[in-house]
């Protein structure tokens, strides 16, 4: 079990009303499950209020980096003490 920091950015930070949290987790899957339980409903509710309906869990509609690396590029799912998850919405418009 590792103590990790989760940092929220831009719109997610505004909607959740906090810029970071800590949690104890064994691996990435565990951390994401805890995040979904603690923040998923609130985030979706805020988005719904703004007229945005998104299906799925936080990881399905967010960009998530572990220590600056996209989760999709990470092979080992184990977490270590002091790891940082960065979470923010995808912005692709111009």
Partner 1 sequence: MKSNAADKDIRRCVTESAESHVGQDGKAHLVISLKTTASLSSSQKVPAKEVEITALKQGIIPCRYLRNIGTVGLDGQIKLLQSTVAVVGAGGLGSTIIELLARQGIGHLIIIDNDRFAEENLNRQIMSTEENLGQYKVISAAKRVKEINSATTVTTFRERLTGDNAKSLLTGARVVVDGLDNLSSRLVVEQTCRALAIPYIYASIAGFNGQLMTIFPEDVGLSSLYGSSSDIVPEQGIETRIGNPPATVALIAALQVQEAVNIIAGVGAAIRNQILLVDARECTIDRIELGK
**31, 30, 25: which is closest to 81 by C-alpha?**
25
Q: Which is nearer to partner 1, 68 or 76 (CB)?
A: 68
Residue 38's H or E segment, with its range, is helix 28-49
Q: How far is the CB of 71 from partner 1 (least distance, A)?
A: 8
Find the distance separating the first CA and the last CA of the chain, reported in whole Å.
Answer: 41
Scan residues 23-62 and list those touching partner 1 (CB under 8 A). Answer: 50-54, 61
Instruction: State phi, psi for 28 to the nearest 5 degrees.
Output: -60, -40
Q: What is the Rg, in whole angstroms, of the alpha carbon atoms belonging to the chain?
A: 13
Q: Which is nearer to partner 1, 1 or 29 (CB)?
A: 29
Q: How far is the CB of 13 from partner 1 (least distance, A)?
A: 7
Please identify which residue in 10, 18, 24, 37 interacts with partner 1, judged by CB under 8 A: 10
- Residues forming the site for partner 1 (CB under 8 A): 9-11, 13-14, 50-54, 61, 63, 65, 67-73, 86, 88-94
């Amino acid at each position: 079990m590792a103590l990790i920091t989760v940092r929220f950015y831009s719109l997610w930070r505004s909607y959740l009303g906090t810029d970071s949290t800590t949690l104890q987790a064994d691996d990435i899957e565990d951390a994401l499950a805890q995040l979904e339980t603690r923040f998923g409903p609130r985030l979706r509710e805020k988005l719904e209020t703004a007229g945005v309906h998104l299906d799925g869990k936080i990881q399905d509609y967010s960009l998530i980096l572990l220590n600056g690396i996209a989760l999709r590029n990470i092979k080992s799912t184990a977490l270590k003490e002091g790891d940082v998850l960065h979470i923010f919405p995808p912005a692709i418009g111009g």
